[in-house]
Amino acid sequence: MRAETRPDFFFIWSGDRFSLLFRIAVSLVSCHHPDARVVVYVVGPSPTSVHFQALLDDGTAEVVALDPAEVLGRLPLALSGAADVYSRLPRASHAARSNILRYALLHDHGGVYLDTDVLTVARFPDLDGVDAAIGLETVWSGDRRRVSGDRTVWMSPTTCAWALAYSAVRCDSLLASGRLGVAGRIDRFGHAWTELQANNAVLASSPRSQFISEVLAGIGEVDSAIRYSTGPTLIHDVLSGTSANVRVFGPDVFYSIPPGQSFRLFEDVTFRLPDSAVAVHVAASNHETRVARMSATDPCARPGTVIHGLMDADAGMQQGKGRVTAG
């Protein structure tokens, strides 16, 4: 079915493994935007998990069954190549399919799209007057070559430096809860093996956005067999060449923790979100076991970490004790 009016914020879900973290992600948007219309579009059968049922029961968001053919069929003829690519994707390609659907929905009705592992910690800024808005994140500079199958990236000196830095931060986080301060020391040299790249886990636009139209047009030109080719890689390439009025946020706003260090959200008791943070991307695919095991009594995160703090605050909100604030 089609939502009767345009949502202010929306998520897309497919599959049955809807966890507590994802329910919290939806609730946090409503917490910080109590007057907003929040929609969760579901592709395929509805999840049977208790957390999805809790989402239905608490009324913080509308759940709308989404027919991909209907959504993609509303695209103008010039952008219909995106529908062709979608139809050729394997059913198991949930991320690539979700990428195309989020662009089609943004083109159709605009609003703010969020991945279900994006936790909102403050009100979103006013985006009136912009064609689209997107955030940058800090990524390993060799990642694009890696996902495209270029094995020579592993012989690069910067790759060795990145691997050593990752290992040092990982050990500090796992064994000392970040108290050795390794991440802060290494950050001073991170420019040698990292770069900024646009990400589409948080993406906003006006209806019929020029930028989103350019993204949809670009889908037909990418190799959809390459991971991220319809996601961050495409978004970044289009952003680099667009003339549209796109508001670009720095990593501190949505991606204050690099995806390769997202374990710190669960383990590093010294890490704090910057005051400028509006949301934090958990990169749940890096933590599938933790995310699946999360419960109200076991957050699968150490006390004092960002995740533990947000889950505690959400529990208080569910009990009517107050608002959620950034950790």
More confident: 55 or 222: 55
Task: Spell out the long-range contacts of 50-56 with Cβ–Cβ below 8 A and sequence spacing 24 or more.
Answer: 51/18, 51/19, 51/20, 51/22, 51/23, 52/18, 52/23, 54/23, 55/18, 55/23, 55/26, 55/27
Least confident window among 16-25, 170-179, 200-209, 226-235: 226-235
pLDDT over threshold 60, residue 195: yes
pLDDT over threshold 90, residue 120: yes
- The angle formed by the CA atoms of residues 12, 13 and 19, to the nearest 5 degrees, is 130
pLDDT over threshold 80, residue 8: yes
Q: 167 with 241: CB under 8 angstroms?
A: no
pLDDT over threshold 90, residue 320: no
Q: Side-chain half-sphere of 148: how many Cα atoms within 13 Å?
A: 13
Least confident window among 85-99, 159-173, 192-206, 306-320: 306-320
Quote the pLDDT of residue 11: 98
pLDDT over threshold 70, residue 225: no
Strands 62-65 and 118-120: unpaired
Q: pLDDT of 129-188, one tens digit each?
A: 999 999 999 998 888 787 777 788 888 888 899 999 999 999 999 999 999 999 999 999
Domain assignments of the chain as residue spans, ordered by start: 9-140+197-318, 146-187
Quote the pLDDT of residue 23: 96
Quote the pLDDT of residue 299: 92
pLDDT over threshold 70, residue 2: no
pLDDT over threshold 60, residue 214: yes
Q: Edge-to-edge, what's the strand order for the sheet holding 62-65? A: 62-65, 38-43, 9-14, 111-114, 194-205, 132-140, 246-249
Q: What is the mean pLDDT of residues 294-307?
A: 94
pLDDT over threshold 80, residue 128: yes
Extract the tokens encoding 56.
């239905």
Q: Which CA distances in Å does 145 have to 153, 195, 198, 290?
A: 6, 13, 16, 29
Quote the pLDDT of residue 226: 59
Whole-angstrom distance, CA of residue 40 vs CA of residue 65: 9
Quote the pLDDT of residue 316: 75
- DSSP, residue by residue, 22-52: HHHHHHHHHHH-TTS-EEEEEESSPP-SHHH
Lookup result for tokens 């943004």: 106
Whole-angstrom distance, CA of residue 101 vs CA of residue 197: 21
Helix (H) / strand (E) element for 314: namely helix 306-318
Whole-angstrom distance, CA of residue 114 vs CA of residue 105: 12
Extract the tokens encoding 212.
């989103």
Pick one of 1.10.3110, 1.10.3470, 2.30.29, 3.90.550 as the CATH number of 9-140+197-318.
3.90.550
Q: At 324, is the pLDDT very low, low, confident or very high (cuts 50, 70, 90)?
A: very low
Whole-angstrom distance, CA of residue 258 vs CA of residue 191: 13
Q: At 221, is the pLDDT very low, low, confident or very high (cuts 50, 70, 90)?
A: confident
Q: 66 with 43: CB under 8 angstroms?
A: yes
pLDDT over threshold 50, residue 197: yes
Q: At 327, is the pLDDT very low, low, confident or very high (cuts 50, 70, 90)?
A: very low
pLDDT over threshold 70, residue 1: no
